[in-house]
Chains A and B, each alone.
Chain A
Amino acid sequence: MTVVLAGLAIGAVYVLTALGYNLVFVSAGVFNFAQAQFIMIGTFVSYWAAAQLHVPVELGIPLGLAVGFGLGAIEEIAAINPLRRLGGQSELIVTLGVGVVLDGLAYLIWGSQPLEVPFFGSSSPLTVLGGKILPVELTLVCVAVAGALALAAWTRFSLVGMASVAVSEDKAAAAARGIDPRKFSLISVAVAAAIAAAIGPIIGPKTYAVYNLGDQLAIIAFVCLAIGGFGSYLGVLLGGMSVGLAESIGARFVSPPFGDVIVFVMLLTVLLIRPSGLFRTAAVRKV
């Protein structure tokens, strides 16, 4: 059971990363490659709060919200929006550049050594269904599941959520209905960055604060999205947890590096059988 719980904990980190990508993709119609870097920034903000400001690490949540929102807004205004007008998806490349800049900034400020982020709860392992899991891991799993369900409900039942989907599907039609795609893009990129940075106090104790953490998470988050289906929050949840479980179970019962192989076999299988992802319906387009 410990193997399963470890898989869920790993999967929760992937889910939380991929949810941010999905939120921006749905609401702004952009794949923001720098999204995982906002999680990295959040872990450093939490470290900074706890180790250098000597305030409770929970304050990393509001601090992360503020820092993430500010950085996300700057990215949208200075990098994404100007290039989007040019067309050709050139904004995708600039988001990669923003990610590199954020990595570099973190390196310059905090250095290359991993830093410990304390958890606000207990650090003693818990026994759940006969397996061992750390309180921070249990928190990660709960937050990931709750976050995915909440975002899925938001897009399905709230007016703003439905408007966000409308913007991603057809900007012109959404604008004709009185929705401002420009404003949606700005707010969604900033909010997604804020949420990513705000979860630093729960991701940091698991991953440490490391300047290249975003690079490590981004690839797997992309795989989770591809498996679950771009645009589907429930798909992200299923994709992320599946990947985490595959890594963990593969490592225990086959061979540790084989876990990575299983993940990419899963990806290839899904792409071959259902290219739009498990939870995404293929759209018909006139060509």
Chain B
Amino acid sequence: MRIRRAVYGSAAALAAAALATSGCASTAAGSSTSSRDSAFSVLVVLPLSGAGAAQGNAELQGAKAAARVLNSHGGILGHKVVLTVDNDQANPSTAITQIQGAISGSSKPDLVIAGASSNETDAVAPILNRAQVLNIESDSDPKIDSGTKTPYTFDSTVSIPSVINALVTYVRSQHASKVGFVYANDALGSAVGQYEVGALKQAGLKVVSASYSATAIDDSSTLLKIKSQNPGVLVVEGFGPQAGYLFSSRAKIGWNIPTIGDSAVASSGLASLVPAADLKNVRIQAFADELYRPFSQQSPAMQTFIKAVAATGPISQPISEDGFVYDALMLADQAAVQAHSISASAIKGALEHLRKASDSRIVSFSDPTYSPASHVIDSPPSDYAFVRASGITSGFFDVPAGTAASSITG
């Protein structure tokens, strides 16, 4: 999970949970029918325009790819996967209206994937849980990660502490006694900043931090304030143009200390905003499977996933943006097979005791594990990579120049 996705992506988890719910013919979740002639209906509510649209469209690609793959194998327990897509424009009120409309009818969706931000998913999760509709999010959010509070909501991504733990491990490997940290003063930046600063301090590092105005177009002053305290490493939180302003300002003041862009920076297309010469000593946090490797060296499950996503259109975001929603559907499928049912309660129960499957199509994790208490995945630091701030080519970082498209997407 990307932390930014924690804010922009709770919808995916909701969707996955919804998938689990909908599959069942005789479930208390009220979902649908047991006939194999019926479809496994998935409601996808994402921001397809406006703020968060880049993530929303990438997640939609993942959902479409998963439906394509599952249907080519006979659907989920014989039920054809059918997607219904709504655009909530990143507006929680719109998402609520769309979901209430979908679950108030006679046939509820079997799975809901809703929202690319925690604003949206936090708003719709209580409604879906009251209606016992399974939803699986592609973003982690502590408010809805608890199996006891929101039993029908799962995350198909990793917990925020996992992401931060990987960041802390990497920072410690830089052997700096003092760490600088800058983050936006908007809701997301403040939340993430406090998490990350707290984790760095807990790891025994001395931290000097400052937030910057989310509307600022120049961050020289903020960086100079941090620089005056002589940190050995700088950690940066920022998204979109904010990330560009930060790194341009860093270059302007000639501050080239080792700098780490967190997972939000990784989604910002930094290399297309700031000249490569201005990104000396910059690494950004990514998932290990976002690092390029030739298509022929990918696992069979990953090859299937990449081909299916590429068939839906160009891949402009890191491949895991697509992958977490893809996995939401694959998790629902695997749980349904384990439970021999597509009912929400059955899939929920199976997810909480998910067994490893030899033919698993899940691509982001080799062994995702939930429990009745925790509906989010913890992953070790080895699942992450700190990559050069290169551009993203067909979803991957560090693709050598001149690499043929067939070597990336098959």
Q: Which residues of A contact B53 (CB under 8 A)?
A: 107, 111-112
Given contacts A3-B221, A132-B254, contact A251 B213 (CB under 8 A): yes
CA distance in complex: A116, B391 (Å)? 13
CB distance from B1 to the nearest CB of A (A): 21
Does A221 sit within 8 A of B, measured CB to CB?
Answer: no
Q: Which residues of B contact A133 (CB under 8 A)?
A: 252
Q: Which residues of B contact A132 (CB under 8 A)?
A: 220, 252-254
Q: Which residues of A contact B218 (CB under 8 A)?
A: 6, 9-10, 206, 248
Neighbour of B210 across the interface among A113, A206, A255, CB < 8 A: A255
Are the C-beta atoms of B252 and A252 separated by less than 8 Å? no
Are the C-beta atoms of B240 and A114 separated by less than 8 Å? yes
Are the C-beta atoms of A208 and B224 separated by less than 8 Å? no
> What are 5 contact pairs spanning A and B, CB under 8 A?
A10-B216, A113-B316, A208-B244, A247-B216, A257-B185
CB distance from B8 to the nearest CB of A (A): 12
Does A210 sit within 8 A of B, measured CB to CB?
Answer: yes
Does B272 sit within 8 A of A, measured CB to CB?
Answer: yes
CB distance from B214 to the nearest CB of A (A): 9
Does A13 sit within 8 A of B, measured CB to CB?
Answer: yes
Are the C-beta atoms of B54 and A2 separated by less than 8 Å? no
Residues 103-134 of B contacting A (Cβ, < 8 Å): none
CB distance from A144 to the nearest CB of B (A): 14
Q: Which residues of A contact B185 (CB under 8 A)?
A: 256-257
Most buried by A among B49, B211, B221: B221
Does B217 sit within 8 A of A, measured CB to CB?
Answer: yes
Residues 104-140 of A contacting B (Cβ, < 8 Å): 107, 111-116, 123, 125, 132-134
Are the C-beta atoms of B49 and A260 separated by less than 8 Å? no
Are the C-beta atoms of B252 and A125 separated by less than 8 Å? yes
Residues 124-172 of B contacting A (Cβ, < 8 Å): none
Given contacts A114-B273, A216-B215, contact A256 B222 (CB under 8 A): yes
Q: Which residues of B contact A116 (CB under 8 A)?
A: 244, 272-274
Are the C-beta atoms of B217 and A206 separated by less than 8 Å? yes
Closest 6 CB pairs of A and B: A251-B221, A252-B221, A6-B220, A114-B241, A256-B222, A257-B185
CB distance from B67 to the nearest CB of A (A): 25
Most buried by B among A115, A116, A210, A255: A116
The residue of chain A having its C-beta at the shortest distance from the C-beta of B222 within the complex is: A256
Does B269 sit within 8 A of A, measured CB to CB?
Answer: yes
The residue of chain B having its C-beta at the shortest distance from the C-beta of A254 within the complex is: B225
Does B373 sit within 8 A of A, measured CB to CB?
Answer: no
Residues 201-256 of A contacting B (Cβ, < 8 Å): 206-208, 210, 212, 216, 220, 247-249, 251-253, 255-256
Chain B positions within 8 Å of A, measured between CB atoms, are: 49-54, 185, 210-213, 215-222, 224-225, 240-241, 244, 248-249, 251-254, 269, 272-275, 316
Does A259 sit within 8 A of B, measured CB to CB?
Answer: yes
CA distance in complex: A206, B254 (Å)? 17
Are the C-beta atoms of B241 and A207 separated by less than 8 Å? yes
Are the C-beta atoms of B221 and A249 separated by less than 8 Å? yes
Are the C-beta atoms of A256 and B50 separated by less than 8 Å? no
Neighbour of B222 across the interface among A111, A114, A216, A251, CB < 8 A: A251
The residue of chain A having its C-beta at the shortest distance from the C-beta of B316 within the complex is: A113
Are the C-beta atoms of B220 and A257 separated by less than 8 Å? no
Q: Which residues of B contact A251 (CB under 8 A)?
A: 212-213, 216, 219, 221-222, 225
CB distance from A188 to the nearest CB of B (A): 27
CB distance from B230 to the nearest CB of A (A): 16
The residue of chain A having its C-beta at the shortest distance from the C-beta of B275 within the complex is: A123
Q: Which residues of A contact B50 (CB under 8 A)?
A: 107, 112
Most buried by B among A9, A253, A257: A257
Are the C-beta atoms of B217 and A252 separated by less than 8 Å? no
CA distance in complex: A208, B244 (Å)? 8
Q: Which residues of B contact A253 (CB under 8 A)?
A: 225
Are the C-beta atoms of B212 and A256 separated by less than 8 Å? yes
CB distance from A258 to the nearest CB of B (A): 9
CA distance in complex: A177, B75 (Å)? 79
Most buried by B among A212, A252, A256: A256
Q: Which residues of B contact A9 (CB under 8 A)?
A: 218
CA distance in complex: A142, B7 (Å)? 41
Are the C-beta atoms of A256 and B252 separated by less than 8 Å? no
Known pairs A134-B248, A251-B225, A259-B221 / 8 extra A-B pairs, C-beta < 8 Å: A6-B221, A112-B53, A114-B244, A114-B269, A123-B275, A210-B241, A212-B51, A256-B210
CA distance in complex: A257, B182 (Å)? 12
CB distance from B370 to the nearest CB of A (A): 33
The residue of chain A having its C-beta at the shortest distance from the C-beta of B317 within the complex is: A113
CA distance in complex: A248, B213 (Å)? 11
CA distance in complex: A207, B244 (Å)? 9
Are the C-beta atoms of B269 and A113 separated by less than 8 Å? yes
CA distance in complex: A133, B275 (Å)? 17
Q: Which residues of B contact A7 (CB under 8 A)?
A: 221
Are the C-beta atoms of A2 and B253 separated by less than 8 Å? yes
CB distance from A156 to the nearest CB of B (A): 31
CA distance in complex: A131, B54 (Å)? 38
The residue of chain A having its C-beta at the shortest distance from the C-beta of B269 within the complex is: A113
CA distance in complex: A253, B253 (Å)? 16
CA distance in complex: A125, B226 (Å)? 20
Q: Which residues of A contact B51 (CB under 8 A)?
A: 112, 212
